[in-house]
Structure 1
Amino acid sequence: MKKTLYTIIFALTAVSASAQLKKAAHGVEYQIFPAQPGRKLAVNDVISFQAVQKTDKDSILFSTYKQGQPVKAQIRASSNPADLMDIFQLMSVNDSAFVKVPVDSIFKGHETEMPAIFTKGGNVFFNIKILKAQTLEEAMAERNAAMAKLKVEAEKLKLAEAENLNKYIATNKLAPVTTTSGLKYVIKSKGIKPKPLNGDTVYVNYTGRTLDGKVFDSSIEADAKAGGLQQPGRTYEPISFALGSGRVIPGWDEGLLLLNEGSKATFLIPSKLAYGERGAGQDIQPYSPLIFDVELVKVVRVKHAPVTKATKKKATTRKRTATRKKN
């Protein structure tokens, strides 16, 4: 099998360093390859570095190159030889190092926890390169600036979300009902059976779209095919779940409580009741409102405590008390 570039570099570094290793605490051996003179790293510095970790049988345990991004960490007092904190403090930005750590020193005092991939008397090898270093103050300032920028961007996206949703409603000539949470819904056909309650198991057919019409999920084969949605191996049938159990987005848990069994409706769900600032996958971007055409096919009801006159009276009293407090 053809070796990747970082594996070759690791091997060459290990060979060239084998005769020049210096001793550190706990049996650790190392060799640093300085790129150029610079300030030594210190406790509390925040560093970014590339790393490859291997066993003495040449098995890769971890690689930032495979991961696709470097590690970012704060230098602290060492708690284990394998955390390399003592080695970092011997290095500067752009330095590389080869480090050999005895397995016995890593698991000293808890040898029974040693994974089978390691052997007593063996070693773990590290190849690291320091890419960037900041003082804690510099790192905090950079983080705060990034957060402030994200906050501004988030506000812009929130404004755009409301505008885009209102435009969608106007374009499609909808007249949705809006709940206090911001959920909007349109009942297309009303069922004649009672509405479900939290705890009931509901069976729902649905198709989910973004505002631009992109179908991102559907339990209906015809809708999936029409929308160009590929769902290999999926069985097209209503999904089922216990209502109010948190298994679906909040907009669904709220919206289905408003529908009689057998109803068909469209939910227009703001991002705060869907996937919020994170989004979901490639199709659902942060702060994206979602459109769901749903059919409440079936409700399997559980036994609920009966609502007595006393309970109703108590609830009414609490409501009036809350109203008086507001006034």
Structure 2
Amino acid sequence: MKVIQNWQRWSFAVSLIGLLIVQISCAPDPGEALNDRKRRENEDEIKAYITTNNLTAVKDDVTGLYIAKTKDVPTGQAPVVGDEVRFYFVQKRLDGLIVDSTETAAKKPGVVIIGAPSQGAITARLYNGLQLLKEGEQAIVLAPYDPTDNKSGNLLLPAYTPVRYDITVVSVRTEEEQIQDYLAAKGLTAAEKTASGLRFLLTKAYPDSALVKVGQTAKIKYKGTLLNGNQFDANADGTDFSVGTGAVIAAWDEALVKMREGEKATIVLPSSIGYGPQGKTPIPPYAPLVFDIEVVSAK
């Protein structure tokens, strides 16, 4: 009899626990409910702000941002994945308090690469707003709270705070346009362009020496920089690479077999034959690169 009573108690306890689990799993997520409520409140604040300031704003249904263009450039270049966007911005709360900005007076625009795995230091709201504008355009962007915003939840910008961005898009440049601008600025327009997009310019020739061949080990001196001049790698003593085996980036494999022992060249390359959309620390995603290369030997 005692065994039956114990079993009944155990069965009741298990049932009670199961019922509690069901109730918990079916209960609404209080965090999600709070986010929804705050989002609606933000929408009301933004709509009231638009009315009070007599703005003509259009809501983007995908991002939830409200865009009021103050300078419209219909023929401007729209940013797509891989493009470099340079911009100025001022971020304010709706009460007018400035929270953040670029160094507009010093003419130091912000820079972001569209589609990069990380948007860098800027907020998701600003990043999304930039993608809705074209080169040369200016706009007021009103943004409700974004839970992915990495700069909210502080004294200047408490969590769940809607914001205003005043944005100027300085330029939108594809990788190809960035490379063309660099070649023109550096006087390298005579560089050969190959089917891959590689630019190759021999800067020191040794026509009587042997061409580098696939499968050889070449000793190379080199310096690598970004288009802005920042150096990310160099080897002045020379290091050995296996040619044409994928041991180096595709641009190197292509360039080295155009060279002879003792020759020097400058190559400029798109990220498709460099480090691609992921980049490689400290090389950003979608970054065109410049290398100065010297073939010391090839065996």
Specify if TM > 0.5. no
Q: TM-score, normalised by structure 2?
A: 0.45
Task: Judging by fraction of residues, say which structure has more helix.
Answer: 1
Q: TM-score, normalised by structure 1?
A: 0.41
